[in-house]
Amino acid sequence: MSETKTVIEVENLVTHYGTRKILNDVSMSVAEGEVMVIMGGSGSGKSTLLRYMMALERQTSGTIKLLDQDIAKLNQQEMFNLRKKIGVAFQGGALFSSMTVGENIMLPLYEHAELDIMTMEIMARMKLEVVDLGGFENLMPAELSGGMIKRAAFARAVVMDPKLLFCDEPSAGLDPVVASALDDLILKLRDAMGMTVVVVTHELESVFKIADRITVLDRGEILFIGTVDELRNHPSERIQNLLNRRAEDDAIDPDEYLSRLTGEPKTGSATL
């Protein structure tokens, strides 16, 4: 039996925001073709972990390897080349409001692929068909519903046929029917395009439906990594509380939680 290849490897990741430690010694890996769900309560660090995996931030210590490349050691051109193999569907879609849906989908092709405009238009329409948005390419993002925006974001994320797809809270703010349809879409994209998918979510229905393996984060540390069945049968009270949506008495220290929420500097970093 052939050994499964690891495509994402996080080792001893430690991150800070100012003086605050956000992630503490986080280690995990994702195998090729796997759907890995990262879950945890608010302020657990799951979105932060995703930002570091997407190479949007530089870690304090530890290593992150994407497709066998240590992202901290890549130069600008190597990072540029790696980015072409990564797709990201953001929580709010992050479609560019000044562009049509079609132009949004075509943007990565326009920037990275040396194709004529007609070919790019055809490819963009094909991806829109995959996410059931055929014929919507000339609409502006403001003319789409929340679920449609997320599907268009998926189309943009996969237009370059990436090897890795990161999804941040794909079903947040959607009704159960649309959320379920998005879960189906993630599985469809994984199966049809052979992608490795990392999903951050706290929607248990989605977790059980799409996850091959699950990473549970709690207060910046890994509480559990395993399959859905292992998670369901895990003896830890914290995990069972999370699954049964029960608040633990000591789970959230109000002061610590407030400091997590309000501890950001009043002005941002003033860089793009």
Q: Minimal distance in Å, beta carbon 193 to other proteins? A: 17
Which residues are CB-contacts of 44 (< 8 A; sequence separation ≥ 6)? 217, 218, 219, 220
- Do β-strands 213-218 and 221-226 pair in parallel, antiparallel, or remain unpaired? antiparallel
**β 196-200/213-218 pair status:** unpaired
Q: Which of 38, 8, 15, 36 is nearest to 202 (CA)?
A: 38
User: Integer distance in angstroms from the first to the last C-alpha of the chain?
Assistant: 47
**Does 17 participate in binding other proteins (rule CB under 8 A)?**
no
Choose one: 19-27, 36-44, 106-114, 186-194; the region binding other proteins (CB under 8 A): 106-114
Closer CB to other proteins, 191 or 264, in the complex? 264
The rounded distance, in Å, linking the Cα atoms of 153 and 95 is 7
Footprint of other proteins on 112-141 (CB under 8 A)? 112
Residue 245 interacting with other proteins (CB under 8 A): no
- Does residue 155 belong to the site contacting other proteins (CB under 8 A)? no
Q: Per CB under 8 A, which region of 33-41, 49-57, 174-182, 226-234 contacts other proteins?
A: 49-57
Q: Does 271 sit near other proteins (CB under 8 A)?
A: yes
* 270 scored as a contact of other proteins (CB under 8 A): yes
- Select the residue interacting with other proteins from 79, 126, 192, 261 (CB under 8 A): 79
Cβ at position 14, least distance to other proteins in Å: 22
DSSP letters spanning 158-225: HTT--SEEEEESTTTTS-HHHHHHHHHHHHHHHHHH--EEEEE---HHHHHHH-SEEEEEETTEEEEE
For residues 54 and 64, give the distance between their C-alpha atoms in angstroms, rounded to a whole number: 10
Greatest distance between any 2 Cα atoms in the chain? 60
Instruction: Name the one range near other proteins by CB under 8 A: 11-19, 63-71, 84-92, 244-252.
Output: 84-92
Backbone φ, ψ for residue 170 (5° rounding): -65, -30
> Judged by CB under 8 A, does residue 262 bind other proteins?
no
- Does 19 contact other proteins by CB under 8 A? no
Residue closer to other proteins by CB (options 20, 246) is 20
d(CA 180, CA 43): 25
> Rule CB under 8 A: is residue 161 a binding residue for other proteins?
no
Go through the chain and tell me how many residues it has.
272
Lookup result for tokens 């797709």: 87
- By CB under 8 A, name the one of 88, 131, 189, 242 that touches other proteins: 88
Listed ranges 13-21, 89-97, 191-199, 231-239: which one lies at the site for other proteins (CB under 8 A): 89-97
Asked if 267 interacts with other proteins (CB under 8 A), we say: yes
User: Given the rule CB under 8 A, which residues bind other proteins?
Assistant: 54-56, 77, 79-80, 83-84, 86, 88, 90-92, 94-97, 107-108, 111-112, 166, 264-272
